Homo-oligomer: A and B are copies of this chain.
Amino acid sequence: MDRVVYMDHASTTPTDPEVVAVMLPWMSEQFGNPSTMYSLGLRGAKVVQNARESIAHTINADPEEIYFTSGGTEADNWAILGVADAHSKKGRHLITSTIEHHAVLESMEYLEKRGCEITRVPVDGGGLIDPEEVRRALRPDTVLVSIMYANNEIGTIEPIADIGRITREAGVLFHVDAVQAAGKLPLDVEELGVDMLSMSAHKFYGPKGVGLMYLRKRTRVTPLLHGGGQERGRRAGTTNVPGIVGMAKALELADNRMAEDAVREAALRDRLWEGLSAGIEAIHLNGDPVRRLPGNLNVRLDGIEGESMVLMLDMEGICVSSGSACTTGSLEPSHVLLAIGIPAEHAHGSLRATLGRSTTTEDVDHFIKVFPPIVDRLRQMSPIWCENCVCKQRN
C-alpha cells in the first residue's frame, strides 16, 4: 500500500517546500546569532524583524507585540502562568472552558494545585461556548480568561469577538489559543479584542518547534523562560532564526490562500461525511454541524473502538486520529467529547479526519470506499455489536 491519504492535519502538517526553501539559507550560511553586533548576526536580526513585521501585519498587531516561542504549548503556558504570576495581587481566579487543549487545561490545573481558583465554563452539544457564561463567571478577582478560537478535536469555532467585548468591558485580560485557527481563520487582534494569542507554526505548514505569542502592549506577564535578554527581555533563548523565518513565510502563504482553501476543504469534508454516512449505519457527527473548521470531520461509530479503526485505516494508507493526537497512549476518553455530552463508550468509538491542502477528491473517495468494510469487520468482532443480539438495543 503505497498511497498515503493524510487526513490528520489538525495533528501536524508537512512543512511547505517553499517554507523549507526560505529556511535553508539561515541554517548553514547566514547562521549568525541575531543578538550579536557584527553583520552576520545583524542580518539574522533583520530577517527576524521582517518576520515579526509580516506576522504582525497579518494579525493587525504591532511588531513589538509578537514574541517568538518554541510552539503553541509554550505560548499557552506562558500566557496562563505568566499572567497568574504577574497579577496575583489582583486575584487568583482564572476562567477557561471545558474543551481547551491540554496545554491550557494542564497549566490551569498546575495553578489550581497552587491555590488558584479555576472556573471552566461548559459548552453546548456542539462544543460552543455561550459568551454569557463567561460574563457570569467573571469575578472581581478574575485575572485571565483563556478560550480557544477553534477546537482541535471537533473543530468548533468559538465566539471570540463576543467574549472579547465582555472581557474588555470588565477589564480582564483575554488569552486566545489560536493554534488551530491560525492560517485557517482570519485573525485580527483588534476585532477579536484579545490581549494574548498563541500560534504554532507546524499547524499551518510551517516548521515544528516554533510558535509565537501575541502580547498586547503594556500587558504585564512574567516570563516563562528566564535568561538572555532576547525578545526584549521577555523570552530568553537563542533566537531560532530559520524557524521564525519559516513560520512567517508559512503564515503569509496560508493567509493568501485562506478563503480558497476553506471553500475547497469544506466541500471535500462534506463529501466525505455524506459518503460515510450513506455507506455506514450507526455513524454520528460529533460537534457543531456549521460553526466548525472547514477541514474538520469528527464522527462516532457504535460498537467499535477508535484505535482499531485508526490501525485498520492505516493499512489502507489513510492517516486519521482517534482523538487529540497528544493524548495517544492515554486510555482516557477525549475530554472534549465528554464535555459535549457524548458518553464514554461512544467517545472511545470516535474518529477525527482533518483535511488539508493536499487532500483530493480521490483521497476522499478512497476513504469512503475502504472504510465501510473496516467498520463491518470490527463490528463483527465486537462483543457489543451483533446483528441480532440483545446488546445491539443497548447501543
- By a beta-carbon cutoff of 8 Å, the part of chain A in contact with chain B is 4, 6, 8, 11-17, 20, 24, 27-29, 31-33, 35-41, 70-74, 76-77, 101-104, 106-107, 109-110, 200, 202, 207-210, 224-230, 236-243, 307, 310-311, 313-314, 318-322, 324-330
B73 contacts A227, CB within 8 Å?
A: yes
Closest B residue by C-beta to A71: B237
CA distance A105 to B109 in the complex (A): 28
Contacts of A14 in B (CB 8 A): 27-29, 31
A319 contacts B208, CB within 8 Å?
A: no
A238 contacts B36, CB within 8 Å?
A: no
**Interface hub of A6, A37, A101, A321 (most chain B Cβ within 10 A):** A37
A31 contacts B13, CB within 8 Å?
A: yes
B31 contacts A15, CB within 8 Å?
A: yes
* 4 nearest CB pairs, A to B: A228-B326, A70-B70, A103-B227, A209-B240
A327 contacts B41, CB within 8 Å?
A: no
**Contact partner of A327 among B101, B103, B200, B229, CB < 8 A?**
B229
B227 contacts A106, CB within 8 Å?
A: yes
6 other A-B residue contacts (CB within 8 Å) besides A14-B31, A39-B319 = A12-B238, A38-B318, A70-B74, A77-B224, A103-B237, A208-B243
**Contact partner of A314 among B35, B39, B207, CB < 8 A?**
B39
B313 contacts A38, CB within 8 Å?
A: yes
CA distance A386 to B200 in the complex (A): 56
Contacts of A224 in B (CB 8 A): 77, 224
A229 contacts B329, CB within 8 Å?
A: yes
A28 contacts B17, CB within 8 Å?
A: yes
B41 contacts A319, CB within 8 Å?
A: yes
Given A4-B40, A70-B74, A209-B209 in contact, is the A326-B15 Cβ separation under 8 Å? no
Contacts of A228 in B (CB 8 A): 73, 101-103, 324-327
Closest B residue by C-beta to A23: B27
B31 contacts A236, CB within 8 Å?
A: no
**Contact partner of A106 among B8, B236, B243, B318, CB < 8 A?**
B236
Given A20-B24, A36-B321, A70-B74 in contact, is the A326-B208 Cβ separation under 8 Å? no
Contacts of A229 in B (CB 8 A): 102, 326-330
Contacts of A102 in B (CB 8 A): 226-229, 236
**Interface hub of A11, A13, A200 (most chain B Cβ within 10 A):** A11
Closest B residue by C-beta to A7: B38
Nearest chain B CB to A4 CB, angstrom units: 7
Contacts of A73 in B (CB 8 A): 225-228, 236-238
Given A6-B40, A8-B36, A227-B106 in contact, is the A239-B208 Cβ separation under 8 Å? yes
A314 contacts B225, CB within 8 Å?
A: no
Contacts of A329 in B (CB 8 A): 35, 229
Contacts of A70 in B (CB 8 A): 70-71, 74, 209, 237, 240
A37 contacts B200, CB within 8 Å?
A: no
A238 contacts B320, CB within 8 Å?
A: no
A20 contacts B28, CB within 8 Å?
A: yes
A208 contacts B310, CB within 8 Å?
A: no
Nearest chain B CB to A366 CB, angstrom units: 15
A227 contacts B107, CB within 8 Å?
A: yes
A226 contacts B103, CB within 8 Å?
A: yes
A210 contacts B207, CB within 8 Å?
A: no
**Contact partner of A110 among B16, B226, B241, CB < 8 A?**
B226
CA distance A296 to B211 in the complex (A): 33
Nearest chain B CB to A326 CB, angstrom units: 2
Contacts of A6 in B (CB 8 A): 40
Can you report 23 residue pairs joining A to B where beta carbons are below 8 Å apart? A4-B40, A8-B36, A11-B238, A12-B238, A14-B29, A14-B31, A15-B28, A20-B24, A27-B207, A32-B319, A35-B325, A37-B307, A38-B310, A38-B320, A73-B227, A102-B226, A102-B229, A106-B236, A208-B238, A208-B240, A208-B241, A228-B327, A230-B326
